[in-house]
Amino acid sequence: MKPSKLKLHFTRCHPDKNGKEVSYFRALREKLMKRRTLSSTLSCLSRRDRDGLAASYKISLLIAQTGKPHTIGEELLIPAIAVGVETVLHQRGRDVTNKIPLSNDTIQRRINAMAEDVEDTLCSWLRQSEFSLQVVESTLPGNEAVLLAYVRFIREEHFVEELLFSKELETDTRGESIFQVAQEFFSEKGIPLQNIIAVATDGAPAMVGCHRGFISHLKKIVLNVLSIHCVLHRQHLVARRLSPRLNESLQYVINAVNKIKSNLLNDRLFRQLCDENNEEFSRLLLHTEIRLSKGACLSTSFQLFDSVLQFFEEDDASLTENLRIRKADVAYLADLYFMFNEMNKQLLTEDLNLIKTNVVTDLITKKRNRMQLVKRGDLRLRVTSISPNIDKLVRSQLCEPGTSH
């Protein structure tokens, strides 16, 4: 616009502004630039949606890592967030919680998406590097067979140990079936079997059989693969039968412990006796065939040895006498198995440690949704050290048309 026409427009249409200082017009311009526009409003709403979606992923990751039920999102976390916002920030909690979807199904979708992202990251590493494989076949209490596979490899000059997969063995647990499940996974993920340089298993025939075992099938494809019998498993086998005399003493201890723990009345009476004797603790540990079980059982039994003798003094004099004359053997066994356990723990690395393997065992042996846990992403996120790419997942979620949070 020409200056003359601009001046004419100013004097006719804005006479109240005539004579104002330049600073007034600069302030007016800044105010105009800062006003809320439709585009800025939509951008702000989009950012809030993105932040709420990211919070949903991060909270779902925490739920998976702690092993909590997915219903905790709606039942506890949403009310807790609302209380915190209203108490600390003095804002409406509902305005914040409405942006963070945490329903049971939503959390499950988030966990599965993050577990898939972690699995893709792990498989991309394995396609480009050599690694060792550990295969474990186990039967759950419901007679369900599950196959667990762990990998160890070097990345950026550090050892990495990760859970590779957990698969259900739908029919039998023969070596051929185990190999077929593993081979299908490697083929699906595009990981060459030739990248396997070593494989560790226990001594079960299905694993180490020279004709139909898992290792024999693997060696037909990977000729130079190194097969290793698990060191911890061998130590466990050696420790099971040290000598007839010590084994007999061990059986007496196990018999005494099982008589107390298998009967609720006996368990309560024994705890009451321990309290009267001012024992440091009052619970015995039940013996099982799980590794490290004997050490814990013997250690607690020997510390409560006098109370155990007193408990059976009237009801089972024969067992009491057999335990009394074998007290030295029990003390020796308690120390011996304690040393076995400590050595086994030291053989485990910091990455895939006893706590993590116990987490796997605890998750897949729960009666609630055992096989669903194997198939879902909870198990992987609970034990992995790989962080999922939440930013990428949020972007892909926002880009999907017609997708609800």
List, for residues 327-340, the tens digit of each pLDDT value: 998 888 888 777 77
Say how many C-beta atoms besides its own lie within 10 A of residue 124's C-beta: 12
Does the pLDDT of residue 354 top 50, yes or no? no
Identify the pLDDT of residue 402: 52
Q: Is the dihedral of CA 323, 328, 329, 334 positive or negative?
A: positive
| Pair 294, 257 in one domain | yes
Domain end, chosen from 75, 91, 111, is at: 111
Q: How many domains does one find in the chain?
A: 3
Q: Is the pTM of this model over 0.85?
A: no
| Pair 94, 17 in one domain | no
Say how many C-beta atoms besides its own lie within 10 A of residue 117's C-beta: 19
Is residue 374 assigned to a domain?
Answer: no
pLDDT tier at 106, thresholds 50, 70, 90:
very high
| Pair 13, 95 in one domain | no
| Pair 248, 296 in one domain | yes
Is residue 227 assigned to a domain?
Answer: no
Is residue 177 assigned to a domain?
Answer: no
Identify the pLDDT of residue 212: 73
| Pair 242, 336 in one domain | yes
Does the pLDDT of residue 129 top 70, yes or no? yes
Is residue 104 assigned to a domain?
Answer: yes
Please tell me which residue, 264 or 29, carries the higher pLDDT value.
264
| Pair 249, 335 in one domain | yes
Average pLDDT over residues 277-294: 69
Is residue 228 assigned to a domain?
Answer: no
Identify the pLDDT of residue 140: 67
Does the pLDDT of residue 349 top 70, yes or no? no
Rounded distance, CA 187 to CA 179, Å? 12
Is residue 325 assigned to a domain?
Answer: yes
| Pair 11, 102 in one domain | no
Domain end, chosen from 307, 322, 346, is at: 346
| Pair 306, 325 in one domain | yes
| Pair 315, 258 in one domain | yes
What is the rounded radius of gyration, in angstroms, for the C-alpha atoms of the chain?
A: 32
Q: What is the mean pLDDT of the chain?
A: 80
Does the pLDDT of residue 366 top 60, yes or no? no
| Pair 247, 311 in one domain | yes
Q: Which domain holds residue 335?
A: 238-346
Determine the Cα angle at 235 with ends 234 and 241, to 5°.
100
Residues 81 and 98: beta-carbon distance below 8 Å: no
Is residue 152 assigned to a domain?
Answer: no
| Pair 263, 329 in one domain | yes
Identify the pLDDT of residue 352: 47
Is residue 45 assigned to a domain?
Answer: yes
Determine the Cα angle at 31 with ends 26 and 34, to 5°.
125
Identify the pLDDT of residue 368: 44
Identify the pLDDT of residue 238: 55
Average pLDDT over residues 311-338: 87
Residues 311 and 269: beta-carbon distance below 8 Å: yes
Does the pLDDT of residue 170 top 70, yes or no? yes
Does the pLDDT of residue 344 top 50, yes or no? yes
Sheet arrangement for strand 196-201: 158-169, 145-155, 131-139, 196-201, 226-229
| Pair 268, 311 in one domain | yes
What percent of the chain clears pLDDT 70, i.e. is strictly above it?
77
